[in-house]
Amino acid sequence: GESVGLHLPTLSVQEGDNSIINCAYSNSASDYFIWYKQESGKGPQFIIDIRSNMDKRQGQRVTVLLNKTVKHLSLQIAATQPGDSAVYFCAENTNDYKLSFGAGTTVTVRA
């Protein structure tokens, strides 16, 4: 089965609000995690990554938090915009080459 999963399949958020997307993983040996955004009909787009020796990393309007104690990962999007509507995947690097993905969370931004 999947070693990476998201808590909620859908998330509806008001434009301008902050979004929080959660992800649980089961492999405590994983040392690298990536968040991807996938719009309809496109391939996954790299958003941000984090290594297991960190607990927080910030990008442009996005922050990833890693809690290794409870094996939990989250993606925070500040001031959510209509263009943020997409499916978001967390992916876990289980060795040097393989990424394991969860089923994804569909984010819908309400105007």
**Residue (46 or 79) nearer to another protein, CB:** 46
Cα angle at 88 between 101 and 111, to 5 degrees?
165
**Residue (43 or 83) nearer to another protein, CB:** 43
Question: Shortest distance, CB of residue 88 to another protein, whole angstroms?
Answer: 10
Residue 88, both tokens: 């978001």
CA distances in angstroms from 7 to 10, 24, 43, 69, listed in the order given: 9, 7, 22, 17
Binder among 60, 69, 83, 98 for another protein (CB under 8 A): 98
Q: Which of residues 75-94 bind another protein (CB under 8 A)?
A: 89, 91, 93
